[in-house]
Structures are given as C-alpha cells and as structure tokens.
Amino acid sequence: MGMTISEKILAAHAGLEQVAPGEIINAKLDIVLANDVTGPVAIQEFGKLGINEVYDNKKVVLVPDHFTPNKDIASAEQSKILRGFAKEQQIEHYWEVGQVGIEHCLLPEQGVVLPGDLIIGADSHTCTYGALGAFATGVGSTDCAAGMATGEAWFRVPESLKFVFHGSKFQPWVGGKDLILYIIGMIGVDGARYKAMEFTGDGIRALSMDNRFTMSNMAVEAGAKVGIIAPDDITMEYVRARAKRDFKVYASDKNASYEKIFDINTEDIPLQVAFPHLPENTKSVDEASGIKIDQVVIGSCTNGRLEDLQITAEILKGKKIHPEVRCIIFPGTQQIYLEALRSGLIETFIEAGVAVSTPTCGPCLGGHMGILAKGERALATTNRNFVGRMGHPESEVYLSNPAVAAASAIRGEIVHPREVVK
Amino acid sequence: MAKAWKFGHDTDTDVIIPARYLNRSELDYLAAHCMEDADPTFAQNVKVGDIMIGGKNFGCGSSREHAPLAIKAAGIKVIIAESYARIFYRNSLNIGMPIMECPEAVLGIEAGDEVNVDLETGKIDNITKNTTFQARPFPQFMQELIKAGGLIPYVKEKQKHA
C-alpha cells in the first residue's frame, strides 16, 4: 500500500516502514518551537520535569515575536523568561529584537526548517512549514515542554485530504490567500479537523514559495494538523540557498490513499473576502464591495513576505491612503524589511501615508500596534477574524489578500483592485 | 449544585481567553477573564464544579494552552461538546482538564440546568430535566492523566515508579 507524504515523514521519524491513519506513533522531532506567549508556560512545565537541559540546543527554537518590542511591563517579563532560558540553555536559534521576525516568516527564511522535517511548535500556525514539504503542526505549551525535554512526541497519524488545483491560470490578482480562503469556505472551519491537507496540481506548482507559505499557514483555519505541499524545483531553489544541514525530500506515492480528493479549477476562483467572525465566511470580493473600513493591516505570518509587499506597493504607487483609513504594514522579518527598503517599497508606502512597523505579530491577535475600538472595522491580510481578534469584542475583521487590502485602503471601502489600478 | 454554562459552535480560543490577556500567565488572572468576550458575567458567576457545554469544533484557533488553563482555573469540572479542535483537545488532557464528546447531551442540556457528571463512567445526569446521557468513558490512560493532574505530573509519577 502506498503512503502519502505526511505518512512517509511520520513513519521515517518513528522508525517504521509503514504507518496508517489512526495509528498512534511516537516520533523523533527535528525542531521544537515556542514564542514569547507560549514559551514561558512551556519553560515553567519543563522546570517541573526536573531535567536540566533541553534535548538539543540546535533543535529547540525560541522566537519572541508576539508582544515584541514589548508593549508593557507584563509582556516584558514574559520575554525576559524566554531570553533567560535561551541564554541558560545556549539556544542557537534565538533572535533578539532587532534581528527577530515573525516566527513563521523567519524560520523558513533562515533555513531553520527544511523539507522532510518533523516539527512541533507551540503556535497554531506552525503548519506554515508544510509549504516546504515538512510535517509541521501546532501544539500547546505542555507538549512543547515534553518535546524540549525528550525530542519526541506522540502523534495520531492523520487521514489525508487531497486538494488538486487544475490549471495554472489565475484570475487577475488572485494568489495563495484566495486559494486557501476558497477551500476553507468550501469545507468549513472544521472541515479538515485532525486531518492532513495536501495541496497539489498545476495551480500549486505555478505558485511562488511566498504564496505557498500563505496557503499552508491557514490549514489550521480548517482544523487541519498540517497543510503540506510536496517539494518541487521552486521549493528546492528556495531551500538550497538557505539549508545548512542535510534534509530529505518526500512525495506521496501514486497509490497512496486519501479520505477525500477535491478537484478545483484554479481559474474558477475569484478574489476572496472572509466576513466576520469565521474564516469560513468567504465571499467573492465583488460581494463585499462597498463595505466601509477604518483600518487596513498588511503583514503577519500569513501575508508578510516580500512578494506580498511588492503587490501592495504596485497598487499603492503614486496613490494616497484614504483619509479616514489607518493603513499599517508589517514586514515579516528584518531581511524582508531591508529588501523592501532597498527596492523602494518602503518609500512608496510612506509616501502613500502608510505606517510601517518593525516585524511583530502585533494587531493580528489583538496584541498591540493597531488595536480596534468598539464598532470599528478592519480589512486584514491576517488569518483569523474571530470575535475580538483585533481588539474590542464589538469590532470586526475581514480577511483578504494584500492586493484587495491595498486597493481598499485607498478607497476607504472594500473594493476589487481593478477599481483602483486602471 | 453544578450548573451548566452553554456556548455555541466553533467557540474559539480568542473568545475563551482573549490575547490581550496573554501578556501574563498567572492562573487567577486568566480565570478572571475567561469567556469574557462571549459572556462578560461568566468569570464572576461561575462556581467551582460547574460544567461547560460547547457545540462542534470547541476550542478552535490558537494553540494557547492558556485557554483550557483559564477554564480549569475558573472552576469548571468538565467540558461537554459535540467535538473539539485538535490542539485544544490535546492541551486539555495534558493539563488535566476533563473533556467529553457527547452530542446528545449538548442538545439535551440548556444554560442554567443542574447537571451531574461522573468522570469515570461518562454518565451525565440532567437533574433539571430528569434525563440521562452516556458519553464514552475516558480510556484508562486518560483517566490516569486527569487524576494525576496532567501530562507533566503523570510523567513524573511514572518516573518515580519506574
């Protein structure tokens, strides 16, 4: 019996020839990740185990990105715990403010996560690394603590759902964000609960790495354990420039079994907007046209990469943000920020009237740097639009790709980019 | 008197404990803000031993363990839902927060009902409506995990006897 890419990675890390959905396995971990919110709780639990050292100081990764640069005394205390532990354990992959970026943009960029890896992270969007052909999934702080101590974790081998995108032609401005929102709208926020999503077909092969990261990032928004894409030439080109250790590339067998296969025509997918308060509430941008907005947020682990900023600049070039809109852009990492600066994107943003922030998770989770007041409405390129996600429980978040967000920031209401770029 | 608190489908971790309170991780602080954006009266009025009812996909969203920690610290004895999001399910067991899947009980229990739950057998009695439901009892491993108070004390306990 053939295996899927997810099954192969899990089997290899459990020292097994074969695994099947439903099987519980114990597997060796390549990377264990935590941040400034989940890390301190994990460190506290780690301390209770009575173990002095993490299993491998090159494989435990700590990223202070959520409330940094620290927004208040309490969050500064949390970061201090993370920093202290990183120093004490001589953690190789720890970045201080000034070098740090949003974890799921930073780790692939720095070559810390690679194809074929088995990764757990105390952050639900750890599934982003599926875009590299890694099996990566979010866990809580206690699982993370056990992983830091032992380098192992137990997994239930998930059933796989295959999403085949037929055709490599896209509607104008459509990108990875629209493909994943379209899927979530189709199957719902629990449509892939406990399962592995596998994205494939000509439509996926035509996507850049930045767009693939966006897709895998939001797999958890359908309840999935991972959103995986088998490596191809585009993956290898991205990875070869960054990898500092060996890695293995896996692909699904032709006779692998899937719980369900979804066939989608790439060209049928219009620009998507997810309405409050669930990512599954998707409509085409034309159905959202005219909805007034107070704030636009472009960035996050979903859409804070260089290509996202390039698309944004293409739309904002020579134009002004609507006077009643606050537009905030968050480059995902310092390197992305620097490249955007050198290629003139930052200048375009500032001339348009955008606030450009240092990399941080910031307002995506209602942390800081752009919190909404009661009754306010934001259009964001982030991943969640739950009640109170970006601030007051009576505020609203709509989700879209960067092109729709940038065009809407100019117009002051949700609009198709063709209305702004003539 | 164990009272039922009822919440809907896809109750997400941002509603269970909003991120604006994640700058700290003390249990009493988390408990004081538990469910705040869904029901601002919950934290003040919940009593130790009360139960929480959810719909499908309870605990979806973020991986924050603060979510089941907040519910446990608020005094909730058990959560009964139609289904759970993956990370929340795992986190709950890891911290020793009992959770059950029982769609019939979710339909048959209203907010404010008096409910008695036997964690060992999975028997759920709605005393107000005089009805009984049967959830699947926890496997032995999970019962021990919950009894020990979560994964870390459970692992330590096992190490002691190893």
- C-alpha distance from B36 to closest chain A C-alpha (Å): 9
Percent of chain A with pLDDT over 90: 99
CB B43, CB B36: distance < 8 Å: yes
CB A32, CB A151: distance < 8 Å: yes
Helix (H) or strand (E) run with residue A196 in it: strand A196-200
CB A126, CB A21: distance < 8 Å: no
- Distance in angstroms (rounded) separating the CA atoms of residues A165 and A178: 12
Verify whether the Cβ–Cβ distance B57 to A124 is below 8 Å. no
Q: Which of B23, B63, B69 sits opposite A124 (nearest CB)?
A: B63
Name the B residues in 56-85 with CB < 8 Å from any A CB.
56-57, 60-66, 68-69, 83, 85
Among A72, A120, A365, A394, the strongest candidate for a mutation testing the B interface, having the largest count of B CBs within 10 A, is A365
A5-264 and A272-419 share one fold: yes
A370: nearest Cα among A308, A310, A299, A322: A299
Q: Which of A38, A225, A386 sits opposite B65 (nearest CB)?
A: A38
| Tokens (6 digits) for A186 | 């189709």
Burial of A352 (0-12, 13-18, 19+ CB in 10 A): buried
Q: Which residues, other chains included, contact B45 with Cβ-Cβ below 8 Å and sequence gap of 6+?
A: none
The residues that bridge with A305 in the sheet, in sequence order, are none
Report the CATH superfamily, name and number, of domain A272-419: Aconitase, domain 3 (3.30.499.10)
Domain boundaries, given as residue ranges, for chain A: 5-264, 272-419
B4: nearest Cα among B62, B79, B55, B70: B79
Burial of A246 (0-12, 13-18, 19+ CB in 10 A): exposed
| ipTM for the whole complex | 0.94
Among B66, B84, B87, the strongest candidate for a mutation testing the A interface, having the largest count of A CBs within 10 A, is B87
Assign domain A5-264 to a CATH class: alpha beta
B98: nearest Cα among B37, B45, B150: B150
Segment A128-173, tens digit of pLDDT: 999 999 999 999 999 999 999 999 999 999 999 999 999 999 999 9
A189: nearest Cα among A282, A285, A261: A282
Segment A278-330, tens digit of pLDDT: 999 999 999 999 999 999 999 999 999 999 999 999 999 999 999 999 999 99
- Distance in angstroms (rounded) separating the CA atoms of residues B91 and A142: 7
Confidence (pLDDT) at A150: 92
Q: Strand pairing of B4-6 and B51-53?
A: parallel
pLDDT above 90 (res B161): no
Mean pLDDT over B77-101 rounds to 95
**Strand, coil or helix: A378:** strand
pLDDT above 80 (res B157): no
Q: Which amino acid is located at A418 in the chain?
A: R
**Strand, coil or helix: A298:** strand
Confidence (pLDDT) at B162: 60
Helix (H) or strand (E) run with residue B67 in it: helix B66-73
Task: Supply the Cα-derived Rg of chain A in whole angstroms.
Answer: 20
Segment A94-133, tens digit of pLDDT: 999 999 999 999 999 999 999 999 999 999 999 999 999 9
Residues of A in contact with B85 (CB under 8 A): 190, 193, 223
Q: Strand pairing of A31-35 and A118-121?
A: parallel
If phi > 0 it is left, if psi is from -120 to 50 it is alpha, else beta; for residue A173 that is: left
Give the mean pLDDT of chain A: 97
- C-alpha distance from A116 to closest chain B C-alpha (Å): 22
Verify whether the Cβ–Cβ distance B23 to A142 is below 8 Å. no
Verify whether the Cβ–Cβ distance A140 to B64 is below 8 Å. yes
pLDDT above 90 (res B144): no
**Residue A23's CB: how many other CB atoms inside 10 A?**
15
DSSP state of A364: G
Residues of A in contact with B69 (CB under 8 A): 41
Segment A288-299, tens digit of pLDDT: 999 999 999 999
Confidence (pLDDT) at B137: 76
Verify whether the Cβ–Cβ distance A123 to B61 is below 8 Å. no
| Tokens (6 digits) for B25 | 């991780």
Among B86, B90, B154, the strongest candidate for a mutation testing the A interface, having the largest count of A CBs within 10 A, is B86
Q: Minimal Cα distance from A123: which residue of B?
A: B63
Predicted confidence band at B58 (pLDDT cuts at 50, 70, 90)?
A: very high
Confidence (pLDDT) at A374: 98
Segment A224-277, tens digit of pLDDT: 999 999 999 999 999 999 999 999 999 999 999 999 999 999 999 999 999 999
Verify whether the Cβ–Cβ distance B87 to A142 is below 8 Å. no
pLDDT above 80 (res A19): yes
| Tokens (6 digits) for A336 | 């992305």
Confidence (pLDDT) at A201: 98
